[in-house]
Amino acid sequence: MSSTPDRPRTLFDKVWDAHVVSAETAAAPAILYVDLHLVHEVTSPQAFTELDERGLKVRRPDRTFATLDHSTPTLPPDARGARPYVTPAAAKQVETLQRNCAKHGVALAGWDSADRGVVHVMAPELGLTQPGMVVVCGDSHTATHGAFGALAFGIGTSEVGHVLATQCLLQRKPKRMRVTIDGVLQPGVAAKDLTLAVIAALGFAGGSGFVIEYAGEAIRALDMEERMTLCNMSIEAGARAGMIAPDDKTFAFLKGRRHAPQGDAFARAEAHWRELYTDDGATFDREIRLDARTIAPMATFGTTPDAALPIGAPIPRPRTESEQRALDYMHFKPGESATHEAVDVVFIGSCTNGRISDLRAAADVLRERQVAKGVRMLVVPGSETVRRQAEAEGLDRVFTQAGAEWRLPGCSMCIAMNGDFVQPGQLAISTSNRNFEGRQGKGARTILVSPATAAASAVAGVLTDPRTLAKELADA
């Protein structure tokens, strides 16, 4: 992996170059090697079927890890041990992955595993995700792993089959973009707020065709979980991936994790990882800069994640019919702010904000407080590891005493395919990543926010800047 210093390269270039099996030509894309392939039940069954039909094996089961997250119920099994699957099809999908993993020798964090979790929460916890890797998964939020200086991106089911069979993908090299964030975030402003501000600045397709490198003082100041929140939503600006150069925080996070290199091997790996940064003089196809000091707690108002504003700011006049349609769907009017509309559901969880620091942030707001009357609040830890940690810290009791439901790990209301969903017309305040029409259930209206904002909104019953709630308490 040692860099040849003949020309300055970006972080992305270095990782890309190290994985080229055969170079791109006019006629054919590059063959790119994959270090880590993450698998879940929804986007893999047809890929395994393809392998079986062709009589192929999984080339590198040792580089393939599977989990159950999307179709899985978050309520416990009944007295007879039966899981409350939403449909027989969901149960069959889970059984299919169990069977495929057993047949092909792929490790699965299944129901009986203490590791099981949302794929992008689980893999970093286990130390599977490491700097300089190419990580793929049949899931568009795979960019989460870019927080470690990995090149991580989502693929479709045909490509899942390609990686299972060959450990490789056919890829054209994307363009490079750098998003530099100067300054540091103000107290009470979360990584999710930064994330929504970046997406609002780029627009829903502003990152299309690019791999983004996030850089600058604000990024260095983020901890690893915050970096994951930021990289996670790169796809919401259309980007292929988001990456952050690894640093001491990255190495400290990885040290001692089960699948990270151990002992001397860790020191050797760290020496390689320390070369993963953008060289002075390397160029990007596009650069943008933002100032962290100007960012306030954010919330979306439309039906794409880039339609986001500081909480309380007036909703702008729609410029297109599609923007008008989005406001009509959300029942919002230009000039108003979304802070007057009664909230029906609050969801804390997902691969964006279902980690322990997210639950702590929400619990800090909810402690000694109650969820407002008429609001249903669901807290879903991102993994079994997060669940154990939260319960050890008593966070589950903070949530339940406030009137929220404490669930088993899974994607849950982020994608609403496991039976956890928002009713038609209801307004949901959610820490997940997509506010598309119907994403959280047919007719559901979604506002994306940080965990602290979600918790403050649960208490107030309307969309609320968590800093004002803290102030009310101080004044009382």
Partner 1 sequence: MPERFTQLTSRTFVIPQDSIDTDQIIPARFLTTTSREGLGASAFYDWRYDANGAPIPGEALNSIDPQEHRILVAGDNFACGSSREHAPWALLDYGFRAVISTSIADIFTSNALKNGLLPITVDDATHARLLAEPAGRVTIDLEACELHIGNEAPVPFTVEPFARQCLIEGVDALGWLLERRDAIEAYEQRRAQELAA
CB of 1 to partner 1, least distance (A): 6
Q: Which of 414, 422, 447, 455 binds ligand SF4 (CB under 6 A)?
A: 414
Say if CB 347 and CB 430 are below 8 A apart: yes
Residue 351 interacts with which of ligand SF4, partner 1, none, CB < 5 to 8 Å by class: ligand SF4
Among 304, 353, 430, 433, interactor with ligand SF4 by CB under 6 A: 433
Number of C-alpha atoms within 13 angstroms, CB side, residue 271?
5
- Residue 374: CB atoms within 10 Å: 9
For residue 407, how far is the Cα from the chain centroid? 19
351 counts as binding ligand SF4 under rule CB under 6 A? yes
User: Can you give the C-alpha Rg of the chain in angstroms?
Assistant: 22
417 to 446, contacts with partner 1 by CB under 8 A? 417, 424, 434, 436-439, 442-443
Q: d(Cα 200, Cα 308) in Å, to the nearest integer?
A: 6
Angle between helices 395-402 and 356-366 in degrees, nearest 10: 40
x-or-dash pattern for ligand SF4, window 55-94, by CB under 6 A? --------------xx------------------------
DSSP assignment of 231-279: HHGGGGGT-SEEE----HHHHHHHTT-TTS--THHHHHHHHHHTT-SPP
| Subset of residues 163 to 202 that bind partner 1, contact rule: CB under 8 A | 165-168, 170, 172
Give the range of 319-327, 370-378, 411-419, 438-446 binding ligand SF4 by CB under 6 A: 411-419
- Does 416 bind ligand SF4 (CB under 6 A)? Our answer is no
- Site for ligand SF4, residues 206 to 225, rule: CB under 6 A: none
Binders of ligand SF4 among residues 115 to 174 (CB under 6 A) are: 118-120, 139, 141
CB 382 within 8 A of CB 409: yes
Nearer to ligand SF4, 10 or 144 (CB): 144
**Cβ partners under 8 Å of residue 277, min gap 6:** 11, 245
- How far apart are alpha carbons 236 and 233 in whole angstroms? 5
Q: Which of 350, 446, 450, 453 binds ligand SF4 (CB under 6 A)?
A: 350
Q: Exactly one of 10, 64, 67, 71 binds partner 1 (CB under 8 A); which one?
A: 71
The residue length of the chain stands at: 476
- CB-wise, 268 or 388, nearer to partner 1? 268
**Beta carbon of residue 439, minimum distance to partner 1 (angstroms, whole number):** 5
Measure the CA–CA gap between 432 and 446, rounded to whole angstroms. Answer: 9
* Total number of residues that touch ligand SF4 (CB under 6 A): 14
Binding flag, residue 464, ligand SF4 (CB under 6 A): no
CB of 260 to partner 1, least distance (A): 14
462: which 2 tokens? Answer: 């309307």
Contacting positions for ligand SF4 (CB under 6 A):
69-70, 118-120, 139, 141, 350-351, 411, 414-415, 432-433
